[in-house]
């Protein structure tokens, strides 16, 4: 996951904090990345002199931000901030201090974040797994309560001498990496109780926020449509799978993940073990049995975050809903009337369809888990069947993968159509799907599915479904192609020519509300810009900050782009949400940071404005 996605997670969490605490827009946050001089900050001779400790002492609250990769849990400076906050909390004179944990979905313990992989990561956190960017800083010494100078180089080589500082930072005594590792290992053993106490404090904080889990008694559900599984229950199942399969999990296809042993005594579905009453689903999850379990769960997590779902949100996952001791009977009764394939009965209960995707999946012809790999494909008959069912039922349809999710028919609550990152490979597979070449493992099922699709829309079902899939893919591909340079212009022309597709649609905008023209301007793709404008694309679309392509061109300091947009009647005085016109943006000379001379564009824009 790139830095842009992690920064987006961080800013989303900041917004959640502001909302939860009803904070003023003028509220001050101390963020080490922005507060410390990244070209060389003097951190002082000892831990208590560092800006990290000073900030914790001064602040009203310490908030641990856990990004999607749980990277902050592996940073020693974060461990120090947690440790020092807990020390202050234990001081009777500092009871006003508080410690809170946040993810991009919200505060741990809130309705939005009471389970999931990040909560698991926090619950299992161990300070001894962390590492600092500066090996010389003996944060672990401080946490263990031993002299900070242990293992550090001093002027007279004594444990009480003055530290040798280089660029304001202490140095290791000896400095070979293996020496440091041996030293830390001995520290962990000797002061095990101190480290485990910090681990326990953090875990207690998490458990105290989310509450203790309770064991469900289960129930008997005669109808498959009643066997939805809540997001919380699904996450619990995923946790069990991770525990059971460990290192094998990344290469484990979903078909290898069964609950047959767990359900053997009652000969029921997994849902009937964990549900206490019927659970009607709201989202139907489509997946292929050869997709990797970790990919499917990652896709579901992206969808849940984008839709801001609570743990009580109910999904339909066929593998967990069907009785694996009579799987064929369950699934046939759900989709057939006699020998006739009909709209899936469980899918009828849902308002949304989530199609899970990935770059690759397991090859069923391979006997070794994780060995046989094949590209992910849209040409799977049952997948096309569920998409066709979703269209006939008027469902909201989404495609998700391990790195993001995109909306095809309805925007997400934040008003955007994309969340995270969708690889081009996946959307091109969607665009180029060959419906008539789709297949199932059971040949006669293929005929049933294709007949079901063909009979729709007065016999034009295949054509309509293909056009629909291409239109959904085009919503994503258009902005990707526009951002890829003029060499992709021919492909962009092909995408924009899809019947029923509008490049001006809200669904065609990017993760920050940027239009295809914004993307082309940001990429300085002059031929693409000219072509978009000649096709009637408005010159003044605005992104989520109400900035137009002219704002982008002015920020980049590109005079040629500015003139192209103005020739197309772009409005030079249109304001962003910050009240800034393109001229105001040009005056900020942001492009000068990249060595671009913005003098000419500023002079030109001052003349026309």
What's the pLDDT band for 41 if we cut at 50, 70, 90?
Answer: low
Q: Is the pLDDT of residue 127 over 80?
A: no
- The C-alpha atoms of residue 142 and residue 228 are separated, in whole angstroms, by 50
Q: Which of the residue ranges 38-42, 168-172, 185-189, 252-256 would you say has the lowest mean pLDDT?
A: 185-189
pLDDT digits (tens, 9 = 90+) for 249-289: 667 777 677 777 777 788 889 999 999 889 999 999 999 88
Q: Is the pLDDT of residue 353 over 80?
A: yes
Q: Is the pLDDT of residue 581 over 80?
A: yes
CA atoms within 13 A on the CB side of 512: 14
The per-residue pLDDT for 395 is 97
Q: Is the pLDDT of residue 128 over 60?
A: yes
Query: Rounded to the nearest 10 degrees, what angle do helices 549-556 and 559-567 cross at?
Result: 160
DSSP 81-136: HHHHHHHHHTSGGGTT-EEEEEETTEETTSTT-SSSHHHHHHHT--GGG-B-SSTT
The per-residue pLDDT for 181 is 44
- Convert 127-144 into a string of H (helix), E (strand) and C (coil): HHHCECCCCCCCHHHHHH
Q: What is the DSSP letter of 162?
A: P
Q: Is the pLDDT of residue 307 over 90?
A: yes
The per-residue pLDDT for 369 is 42
What's the pLDDT band for 210 if we cut at 50, 70, 90?
Answer: low
The per-residue pLDDT for 138 is 63
- The answer to whether 69 and 103 are in contact (CB under 8 A) is no
Q: What is the DSSP letter of 164?
A: P
Q: Is the pLDDT of residue 494 over 60?
A: yes
Q: Long-range pairs for 27-34 at CB < 8 Å and ≥24 separation?
A: 30/55, 30/58, 30/59, 32/77
- The C-alpha atoms of residue 321 and residue 330 are separated, in whole angstroms, by 9
What's the pLDDT band for 193 if we cut at 50, 70, 90?
Answer: confident
- The answer to whether 290 and 361 are in contact (CB under 8 A) is yes
**Closest-CA residue to 409 (of 421, 397, 400, 419):** 397
Q: Which of the residue ranges 35-44, 93-102, 168-177 would you say has the lowest mean pLDDT?
A: 168-177
More confident residue, 175 or 528: 528
Question: What are φ and ψ of residue 101, in 5° steps?
Answer: -120, 130
pLDDT digits (tens, 9 = 90+) for 451-482: 999 998 888 999 999 999 999 999 999 989 99
Q: What percent of the chain has pLDDT over 90?
A: 35
Q: Is the pLDDT of residue 137 over 60?
A: no
Q: Which of the residue ranges 40-49, 305-314, 406-415 would you say has the lowest mean pLDDT?
A: 40-49
The per-residue pLDDT for 355 is 97
What is the average pLDDT score of the chain?
A: 82
The per-residue pLDDT for 541 is 93
pLDDT digits (tens, 9 = 90+) for 370-383: 456 778 888 899 99
- The C-alpha atoms of residue 505 and residue 519 are separated, in whole angstroms, by 15
- The C-alpha atoms of residue 470 and residue 433 are separated, in whole angstroms, by 8
Q: Is the pLDDT of residue 22 over 70?
A: yes
Residues pairing with 374 in the sheet = 361
The per-residue pLDDT for 326 is 80
Q: What percent of the chain has pLDDT over 70?
A: 79
Q: Which of the residue ranges 131-135, 317-321, 509-513, 568-572 would you say has the lowest mean pLDDT?
A: 131-135
- The C-alpha atoms of residue 510 and residue 475 are separated, in whole angstroms, by 9
Q: Choose the most confident range, by mean pLDDT, from 25-29, 35-39, 210-214.
A: 25-29
The per-residue pLDDT for 441 is 85
Q: Is the pLDDT of residue 92 over 50?
A: yes
Q: Which of the residue ranges 93-102, 490-499, 537-546, 575-584 would you say has the lowest mean pLDDT?
A: 93-102
- The C-alpha atoms of residue 525 and residue 480 are separated, in whole angstroms, by 12
H helix intervals, 437-558: 443-454, 456-459, 461-482, 489-496, 516-522, 526-534, 549-556
- The C-alpha atoms of residue 125 and residue 130 are separated, in whole angstroms, by 9
* 72: helix, strand or coil: helix
What's the pLDDT band for 87 if we cut at 50, 70, 90?
Answer: confident
Q: Is the pLDDT of residue 148 over 60?
A: yes
Q: Choose the most confident range, by mean pLDDT, from 138-152, 204-218, 551-565.
A: 551-565
**Stretch 107-111: mean pLDDT, rounded?**
75
Q: Is the pLDDT of residue 563 over 60?
A: yes
pLDDT digits (tens, 9 = 90+) for 509-547: 988 889 999 999 999 999 999 999 988 889 999 998 999
Please list, in sequence order, all residues whose beta carbon lies within 8 angstroms of the beta carbon of residue 366, skipping any fewer than 6 positions away: 372
Residues pairing with 61 in the sheet = 98
**Closest-CA residue to 183 (of 149, 157, 134, 158):** 149
**Stretch 395-415: mean pLDDT, rounded?**
95
More confident residue, 366 or 235: 235
């Amino acid at each position: 996951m790139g830095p842009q996605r992690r920064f987006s997670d961080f800013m989303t969490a900041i917004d959640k904090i502001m909302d939860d605490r009803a904070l003023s827009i003028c509220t001050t946050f101390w963020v080490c990345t922005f507060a410390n001089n990244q070209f060389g900050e003097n951190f002082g001779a000892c831990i208590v002199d560092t800006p990290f400790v000073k900030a914790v002492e001064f602040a009203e609250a310490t908030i641990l931000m856990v990004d999607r990769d749980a990277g902050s849990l592996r940073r020693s400076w974060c461990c120090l901030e947690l440790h020092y906050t807990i020390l202050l909390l234990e001081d009777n004179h500092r009871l006003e201090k508080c410690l809170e944990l946040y993810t991009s979905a919200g505060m741990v313990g809130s309705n939005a974040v009471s389970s999931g992989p990040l909560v698991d990561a926090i619950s299992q956190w161990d300070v001894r797994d962390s590492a600092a960017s500066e090996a010389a800083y003996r944060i672990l010494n401080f946490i263990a309560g031993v002299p900070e100078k242990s293992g550090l180089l001093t002027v007279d080589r004594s444990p009480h001498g003055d530290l040798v500082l280089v660029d304001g930072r202490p140095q290791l005594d000896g400095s070979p990496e293996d020496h440091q590792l041996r030293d830390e290992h001995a520290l962990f053993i000797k002061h095990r109780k101190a480290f485990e106490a910090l681990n326990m404090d953090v875990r207690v904080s998490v458990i105290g926020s989310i509450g203790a889990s309770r064991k469900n008694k289960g129930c008997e559900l005669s109808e498959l449509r009643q066997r939805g599984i809540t997001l919380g229950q699904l996450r619990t199942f995923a946790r069990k799978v991770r525990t059971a399969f460990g290192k094998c999990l990344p290469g484990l296809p979903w078909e290898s993940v069964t609950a047959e042993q767990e359900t053997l005594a009652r000969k029921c579905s997994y849902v009937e073990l964990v549900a206490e009453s019927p659970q009607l689903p709201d989202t139907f999850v489509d997946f292929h049995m050869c997709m990797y379990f970790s990919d499917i769960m990652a896709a579901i997590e992206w969808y849940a975050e984008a839709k801001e779902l609570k743990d009580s949100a109910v999904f339909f996952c066929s593998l967990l809903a069907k009785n694996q001791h009579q799987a064929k009977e369950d699934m046939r009764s759900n989709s057939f009337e006699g020998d006739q394939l009909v709209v899936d009965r469980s899918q009828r209960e849902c308002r949304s369809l989530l199609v899970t995707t990935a770059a690759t999946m397991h090859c069923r012809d391979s006997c070794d888990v994780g060995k046989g790999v094949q590209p992910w494909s849209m040409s799977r008959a049952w997948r096309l069947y569920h998409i066709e069912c979703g269209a006939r039922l008027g469902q909201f349809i989404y495609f998700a993968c391990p790195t993001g999710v995109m909306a095809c028919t309805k925007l997400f609550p934040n008003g955007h159509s994309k969340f995270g990152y969708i690889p081009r490979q996946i959307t091109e597979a969607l665009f180029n799907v060959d419906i008539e070449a789709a297949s199932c493992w059971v040949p006669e099922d293929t005929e049933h599915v294709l007949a079901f699709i063909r009979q729709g829309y007065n016999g034009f079902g295949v054509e309509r479904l293909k056009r629909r899939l291409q239109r959904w893919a085009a919503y994503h591909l258009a902005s990707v192609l526009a951002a890829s340079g003029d060499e992709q212009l021919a492909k962009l022309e092909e995408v924009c020519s899809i019947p029923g597709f509008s490049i001006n649609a809200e669904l065609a905008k990017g993760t920050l509300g940027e239009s295809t023209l914004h993307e082309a301007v940001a990429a300085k793709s002059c031929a693409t810009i000219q072509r978009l404008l000649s096709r009637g694309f408005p010159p003044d679309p605005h992104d989520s900050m109400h900035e137009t392509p002219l704002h982008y061109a002015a920020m980049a300091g590109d005079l040629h782009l500015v003139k192209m947009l103005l020739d197309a009647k772009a409005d030079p005085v249109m304001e962003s949400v910050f009240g800034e016109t393109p001229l105001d943006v040009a005056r900020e000379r942001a492009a000068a940071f990249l060595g671009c001379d913005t003098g000419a564009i500023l002079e030109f824009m001052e003349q026309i404005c």
